Structure 1
Amino acid sequence: METPVSCLNDLLRPLTALLVAASLAGAPLAALAQTEQPPKRQTQQPQKPPAKPRTTTTTPAKPTAPSVAAKTEALPPSQVGIGTLAKQAFMVDPQTSTVLLFKDADKPMHPSSMAKMMTIYIAFEEINAGRLKLDTRFRVSERARNMGGSRMFVELGSEVSVEDLIKGMIVLSGNDACVVIAEGLSGNEDSFAERMTAKARELGMTGTVFKNASGWPADGQWTTARDLAVLSWRTIEDFPKLYRYYSESNWTYNNIKQDNRNRLLRTVPGTDGLKTGHTEEGGYGQATSAIRDGRRLIMVVNGMTSMAERAQETARLVEWGFRESANTTVFRAGDTVAEAPVWLGSQDKVPLVVAKPVQITAPTGQAVTPRVVARFDGPIAAPITKGTKLGTAVVTLPDNRVVEYPLEAGADVQRQGVFGRVTTMIRHYLFGWLS
């Protein structure tokens, strides 16, 4: 039985596949290097990093760029939702699996530093499984120390704790931290990248292939906006205690203080993650999560032209999502959806309840009444333990999407005594009771 979270791909893929079929005809070529640079080191000159890949395409001089406000007057359209400056965009309410914004969200794009979310996911998974601890220390190799791009400035030969490496990847976007984790967990980065791709398939990220732990440009490394939204939600859902690291707005390591490049943490109420990224060819992107009054939205955008444009556009889209849509609660957690007949039980019926709230997303101010059908195999034989899954609530939304929620026993039902069972069976076979 799938929940609304696991339905994120299955329910929406048929619709959006039709919308974006034309856009999938051609894929971009190789990405260029990440250029989100950290501040220069104050205490010691780092070794010279490897040269970044460069494009051979020349671009003529451009006139002064118009402001973001001017650009929004004629925004490129989206297949679902409002127009946006982003080349790829995907916004979803994960609690209801409702897509609010879709623009080429299944089109291959460069993951850039947003790939680090998978490296972090695997590290979180190892911690939850008890195979890794926050105070576990990994040694810094020469390869890690010499990584270019954004860094946390680890020292060659030093040992760095897993907790510091997690902060280094999230807050500082450290490419060097990613290599240390990859080598510490898998021996080398290539093997770790294979593990990342395998985990992506396991999570349902069908359009993603990783080639390294940091998102450093590499041939054959791709993802989609939808896939990164799936990864974002699974991170929040699977690791609620560790997810807190994504909300840190700045951090100091090796006497160098750096701000989190996710400006929405400081400017948009409710923002608590996740990760920015940039390649010269793919543009500026960001995976964002924000929660207000118990409602969470997840958004992934890519293809902006500057950090400022990315910050303003992501803020505008998040505010639009919360302002123009709202959730209606159909059933609260513990509400009875139906009653099922009980066979040979101390009571004739057992309530079927939902463990989590059943909600639907609709435009703000619009009243929506879904159709709800309870499915179960009955009568249900006693004894029955409260919390046992007994059926499914099938919710059909006004747009004909179907979302399913598990139904559980809302009470314990004891088995009848010998005399009661005999009486019930006689009544059933002679008079058809419960038939």
Structure 2
Amino acid sequence: MEWMKTMSFKLLRNTMLALMVTILAGSQAWAEGLPFHVRAKAAIMGDIDSGAILFDQNSDMPLPPASLTKVMTLYLLYEALQKGDITLETSMPVSRNAWQREGSKTFVKVGDKIRVEDLIRGIAVQSGNDACVVVAEYLGGSEKGFADMMNAKAAALGMEASHFANASGLPAPGHQSSARDFFILTAALMKHFPEYAHYVQQKEYTFNGIRQVNRNHLLWKDKYITGLKTGHTSEAGYCLIAVREKDGQRLCSVVMGSSSTEVREEESMRLLHYGNRSFETVNLFEAGATVRTLRVWKGSQKEVDGVIYNPMRITVPKRQRGALEAGIVFNEPLVAPVRQGQALGSLVVKLEGQEVMRQPVVAKNEVPEGNLMVVLLDAIRLQLGW
């Protein structure tokens, strides 16, 4: 077996690192103690691209999510667009049930047929409950049917504390989620549907002659804010998912159950500034990168590139790059035939000798067995240790 040292990074003493590699590139928990207290029932902040959790305050606590629910409604709407089931020009009919929905409105009218793009803006900018019902009834057959779709998607994404009863977030028995679940959902939304990210950044729009203004005031207060969703009911308090993109780093904070609009904004910015000031995200390898070329014995080719399928990124405290090791571990010898996609070993990242990240390394291409002469010569070389 082989360990190849390629770079270094040293963590501060007493820092606790817990990393679970997933298809989203993993998750890290950094501090044993919180650096400050957020004025809310629950909060979380982390790096979207590495999955690192940099702040956690009661993030698994089940809470009423109010209009943060609409992020899941947008997720399913974007997914339908991506699959080609609908287009931005598809018209969805407005039922009486949708028209009479209480709370924030896009001001759709009974019998109208509304373009999907207008409904997206109605949800992303104005947080219209009526627009959510229009989408739910079209995609799910009913709001109950759409809630079933929401819960199935939540389970698939690993949102363990979530149960949705409607598409808008209005109070309902059992309708709940958590700060961690909304971090997971936001990361998935940003990664899977970048082509629709501009809707939550839109500051205002006009529909049916009515000017609608985005309720996320951070869009005016910080040029690096790129989303994402506000929420409020008397039961849920004031909630906010905020995304900030600065210096190649995408951070997401979720604040749930704060006491006012001002508090949720102040605490979100405090979390995001803390993350950007204190941590950086290191891109070790991009998806599809060749991490090592390996010797192939008895093959029609003498070498094969070992690649990784997913990007490898890690978030670390700034200015602490003293003892990070990244290397490939594999078994020798590698004998043909080699299949394309065959596991060759693992790319492993260590911090101060402790493994924190691992990803399979696979063959980029097929290497068939060589001719009889190659096979015989390589058999002799292997036997003699050449």
TM-score (norm 2): 0.85
Aligned-pair distance for 1:198?
1.2
C-alpha distance 412-263 of structure 1, shift in aligned 2 (>3 A): farther
| Aligned residue in 1 for 2:66 | 112
Per-residue deviation, residues 344-382 of structure 1 (Å, max 9, x unmatched): 224544343446653332222222423434244554444
**Residues 53-108 of structure 1: per-residue CA shift (max 9 Å, x gap):** xxxxxxxxxxxxxxxxxxxxxxxxxx534322122110111333321110000011
Identity %: 38
Equivalent residues of 2:255, 2:267 under 8 A apart: no
**Deviation of the 1:296 alpha carbon:** 0.9
Query: Is 1:128 aligned to residue 92 of structure 2?
Result: no
Q: C-alpha separation between the residues in 2 aligned to 1:158 and 1:318?
A: 41
Letter of the structure 2 residue corresponding to residue 296 of structure 1 = R
- Using the alignment, how far apart are the partners of 1:257 and 1:192 within structure 2? 29
Q: 1:405: how far off?
A: 3.0
Specify the alignment match of 2:202 in structure 1: 248
Coordinate RMSD, CA, aligned: 2.9
Structure 1 segment 134-145 matched on structure 2, within 5 A: 134-145=88-99
C-alpha distance in 2 between matches for 1:249 and 1:406: 43
Q: CA contact under 8 A between 2:25 and 2:313: conserved in structure 1?
A: no
Q: 1:199 to 1:216 in 2, by over 3 A?
A: same
Q: Does 1:292 align with 2:246?
A: yes
Pick from 367, 374, 377: which aligns with 1:420? 374
Tell me which residue corresponds to 1:26: none
Report the residue type matching 1:165 in the other structure.
Answer: L
2:350 and 2:357 in contact (8 A); partners too: yes
Question: Which amino acid letter does the alignment assign opposite residue 195 of structure 1?
Answer: M
Q: Which range moved further: 83-92 or 197-206?
A: 83-92
Aligned to 1:302: 256
Secondary structure of the structure 1 residue equivalent to 2:252: strand
Query: SS where residue 164 of structure 1 aligns?
Result: helix
CA shift, 1:271, in A, is: 1.7
- Write the distance in 2 (CA, Å) between the matches of 1:394 and 1:232: 27
User: Residue type matched to 2:221 in 1?
Assistant: T
CA contact (8 A) 2:25 2:49 kept: no
The whole-number CA distance in structure 2 between the counterparts of 1:333 and 1:135 is 34
After TM superposition, give the deviation of residue 316 of structure 1 in Å. Answer: 2.5
1:266: how far off? 2.2
Distance (Å, rounded) in 2 between the aligned partners of 1:394 and 1:115: 37
Is the aligned partner of 1:182 residue 2:136? yes
Q: Secondary structure at the match of 1:302?
A: strand
Deviation at 1:155, TM superposition (A): 0.7
Greater shift after overlay, 285-294 or 346-355? 346-355
Letter in 2 for 1:420: V
Aligned-partner SS, 1:85: coil
Q: Which runs of 5+ in 2 are unaligned?
A: 1-19
**1:284-341 CA distance string (max 9 Å, x none):** 1111222123211111111221112222221222122111212234456676544433
- Where in structure 2 are the equivalents of 1:166-315 lying within 5 Å? 166-315=120-269
Alpha-carbon distance in structure 2 between the residues aligned to 1:212 and 1:85: 28
In 2, Cα distance between equivalents of 1:416 and 1:352: 19
Partner of 2:24: 5
The residue identity in structure 2 corresponding to 1:7 is: G
Give the whole-Å Cα distance in 2 for the aligned partners of 1:357 and 1:369.
21
Q: Distance in 2 between matches of 1:85 and 1:129?
A: 40
Question: Structure 1 residues 83-92 or 324-333, which shifts more?
Answer: 324-333
Q: Name the CA shift for 1:123/1:357 in 2 (closer, same or farther; >3 Å).
A: closer
Q: Which aligned pairs between 1:267-416 and structure 2 lie closer than 5 A? A: 267-331=221-285, 337-354=291-308, 358-376=312-330, 378-382=332-336, 390-397=344-351, 400=354, 402-409=356-363, 415-416=369-370
Q: Secondary structure at the match of 1:82?
A: coil
In structure 2, the CA distance between the partners of 1:3 and 1:339, relative to structure 1 (3 Å rule), is farther
| Paired residue secondary structure (1:232) | helix
In 2, the alpha carbon distance for the partners of 1:362 and 1:128 equals: 34
- Relative to structure 1, is the Cα distance of residues 336 and 141 closer, same or farther in structure 2, using a 3 angstrom cutoff? closer
Deviation for aligned residue 1:179: 0.4
CA distance in 2, matches of 1:433, 1:359: 38
CA distance in 1 between counterparts of 2:334 and 2:218 reads: 51
Residue by residue over 1:29-66, the C-alpha shift from the partner in whole angstroms, topping out at 9 and shown as x without a partner, is xxxxxxxxxxxxxxxxxxxxxxxxxxxxxxxxxxxxxx
Distance of 1:320 and 1:215 partners within structure 2: 30
